[in-house]
Amino acid sequence: MTTETRDIVIVGGGTAGCFAAATAAQNGLDVTLLERKSEDEGGHIACGDAIKGKSTFPDVIDRDYLREESFTNENIQRAMFMNPDGENYDIPFESGSGAVVDRKRYGEVLLEEADRVGAEIEYDTVVKDVVQNGRVTGVEAVRRGDPVQYDADVVIDAAGALSLLQDKVDFDGTTYDTNVNYQQFCSAYREVIEVPEPVEYDDAIVFKPTDELGYLWYFPRTGTEINAGLGFQMNKPSMELVSVLKDDLEERPEFEGAEVKDKLGAALPTRRPYDSAVAPGFMSVGDAAGHVNPTTGGGIPGAAKAGHWAAEVATEAISDGTLGESALWEYNHRVQTDFGKKFAAMDLYNIFGGAHDVDELTEVVTALPGEMIIDLMGKKGSVSLSLPEKVKAAVVTALETRGHWSTLREAYQVNRLAAELKKIYDDYPTTPDQFESWKTSRDDIMDRVYDVTGAEPKY
């Protein structure tokens, strides 16, 4: 077997891996990114293609080039929730518009950019195992049919949801989060379809609830090219994704005469970020570390940031010549005190939702005035309620939600626990020494969430 040596080896050429590779290369490190797909297929990844805006991306690639090449619809102004039992709701975006991208081109540009700034990219290279000796020191792969070993100071695992590497590393005696199982993931499927006439909602990302606490989406890449997909949580009975999507598309007049251009499915995490995503010589980023909003499935911004931060911290550790958990810990701290706390808080709503019937949740939502829902979701509505309107809304709500008061009370309690949880994540320890006591405080809140909702413990 050939053996090659690098400063950093990154496994996986998605968003997280490309940002990690570009950052490491910009920092002057010798870095190779290993991607199992061919160069032609690189960047072809199952996704809803919706992104919050280019500002979320770290400045290590040419972000204008990325935007020009792949942001096909930059005019997303609102999220529209289709309510099967009543009024639809619009949640306007507060800060600037979002975008829907051509995901294949987006992925290709990230790989191109990582290469341009100095990372080596090896396509057709499937990582099969890790090399370890008290710490991870490299990986074993098959590169275009031939076995190859890469030795490295740090291995960054950017291999996506349910990453194979995590089955191979011996995490005994490390802080790395091994409390992970498939039930904390969602199975999702999407099609890209071309319709003859532009849809009316080309300025919106559209969501619609489905059974099993999933949702269907229509995200317009352009007025006539729509990314349509759906998913279900794997702690619920499985759903026939392809046929449920087909039935829905057939029912909707705007999809008459539609042509399917691409189909793809994948798993994605719908859990809190890993408590610790580092072990000696090893770091996980993006989907491989649960860096996805567990209620919306949005994972691109988290993957980009995590990849960037991991490579920054690894650069420092390599230059100091210390590759243990303490040297890599700063990466955990950055994730958990930034988007990590938000995703951990969103996970509580996911747990709450999972303990209720979708029909019941839809009835509650239908009974609440639209402005109140927007308020509950923490966004400003397009019209603010005057005092008489507020009184009227309160009376209507009280009458219409009769029978659901305990659910509303639970939602209110979960909301308060989510705020408490965020504070705990603000205090995420700066060194591994305090990690166990931090987890105890966090788990106390989780116990209260399970008490309030009656949900089965998720972790």
Select the residue interacting with ligand FAD from 7, 111, 135, 160 (CB under 6 A). 160
Stretch that binds ligand FAD, among 28-36, 76-84, 271-279, 321-329 (CB under 6 A): 28-36
Rounded to whole angstroms, what are the CA distances from 398 to 80, 387, 405?
A: 25, 17, 8
Q: Which is nearer to ligand FAD, 164 or 408 (CB)?
A: 164
Q: Which is nearer to ligand FAD, 190 or 356 (CB)?
A: 190
Q: From its phi and psi, is residue 134 left (phi > 0), alpha (psi between -120 and 50) or beta?
A: left
Nearest Cα to Cα of residue 35 among 15, 57, 65: 15
- Reduced to 3 states, what is the DSSP secondary structure of residue 138? strand
Q: State in angstroms the smallest separation of the CB of 18 from ligand FAD.
A: 7
In whole angstroms, what is the distance from residue 16 CA to residue 39 CA? Answer: 18
In order, the DSSP letters of 85-101 are: TS--EEEE-SSS-EEEE
Q: State in angstroms the smallest separation of the CB of 430 from ligand FAD.
A: 25
Closest chain position to ligand FAD (CB): 299
Confirm or reject binding of residue 300 to ligand FAD (CB under 6 A): yes
Select the residue interacting with ligand FAD from 21, 47, 258, 373 (CB under 6 A). 47
Q: Which residues contact 98 (CB under 8 A, 6 or more apart)?
A: 50, 51, 52, 53, 76, 205
In whole angstroms, what is the distance from residue 440 CA to residue 451 CA? Answer: 17
Q: State in angstroms the smallest separation of the CB of 206 from ligand FAD.
A: 12
Confirm or reject binding of residue 127 to ligand FAD (CB under 6 A): yes
β-bridge mates for residue 315, sequence order: none
Select the residue interacting with ligand FAD from 9, 13, 239, 340 (CB under 6 A). 13
Confirm or reject binding of residue 16 to ligand FAD (CB under 6 A): yes
Q: Which is nearer to ligand FAD, 206 or 300 (CB)?
A: 300
In order, the DSSP letters of 366-396 are: HHS-HHHHHHHTT---SSPPPHHHHHHHHHH
Confirm or reject binding of residue 159 to ligand FAD (CB under 6 A): yes
β-bridge mates for residue 267, sequence order: 187
Q: State in angstroms the smallest separation of the CB of 123 from ligand FAD.
A: 9
String of contacts with ligand FAD for each residue 50-89, x by CB under 6 A: xx--------------------------------------
Q: Give the CA dihedral 75, 76, 77, 80, nearest 10 degrees.
A: 150
Q: Which residues contact 95 (CB under 8 A, 6 or more apart)?
A: none
Confirm or reject binding of residue 136 to ligand FAD (CB under 6 A): no
Stretch that binds ligand FAD, among 47-55, 58-66, 311-319, 423-431 (CB under 6 A): 47-55
- Within 10 angstroms of residue 293's Cβ, the number of other Cβ atoms is 18
For tokens 């809190």, the residue is 272
In whole angstroms, what is the distance from residue 186 CA to residue 457 CA? Answer: 17
For tokens 């029912």, the residue is 251
Q: State in angstroms the smallest separation of the CB of 20 from ligand FAD.
A: 9
Select the residue interacting with ligand FAD from 22, 25, 46, 258 (CB under 6 A). 46
Q: State in angstroms the smallest separation of the CB of 287 from ligand FAD.
A: 4
Stretch that binds ligand FAD, among 35-43, 255-263, 315-323, 372-380 (CB under 6 A): 35-43
Q: State in angstroms the smallest separation of the CB of 34 from ligand FAD.
A: 5
Select the residue interacting with ligand FAD from 48, 98, 220, 370 (CB under 6 A). 48
Confirm or reject binding of residue 49 to ligand FAD (CB under 6 A): yes
Rounded to whole angstroms, what are the CA distances from 237 to 31, 217, 355?
A: 42, 20, 14
Stretch that binds ligand FAD, among 70-78, 86-94, 159-167, 234-242 (CB under 6 A): 159-167
Confirm or reject binding of residue 126 to ligand FAD (CB under 6 A): yes
Q: Which is nearer to ligand FAD, 8 or 268 (CB)?
A: 268
Confirm or reject binding of residue 12 to ligand FAD (CB under 6 A): yes
In order, the DSSP letters of 264-301 are: EEEEEE-SPPPS--EETTEEE-GGGGT-S-TTT---HH
Q: Which is nearer to ligand FAD, 11 or 66 (CB)?
A: 11
Q: Which helix (H) or strand (E) holds 116?
A: helix 103-116
Confirm or reject binding of residue 158 to ligand FAD (CB under 6 A): yes
Contact set for ligand FAD, span 260-299 (CB under 6 A):
266, 268, 286-288, 292, 297-299
Nearest Cα to Cα of residue 47 among 123, 113, 124, 104: 104
Nearest Cα to Cα of residue 74 among 89, 59, 88, 64: 64
Contact set for ligand FAD, span 163-222 (CB under 6 A):
164, 188, 190
Q: State in angstroms the smallest separation of the CB of 114 from ligand FAD.
A: 12
Q: Which residues bind ligand FAD (CB under 6 A)?
A: 11-17, 34-37, 45-51, 126-127, 158-160, 164, 188, 190, 229, 266, 268, 286-288, 292, 297-300, 303
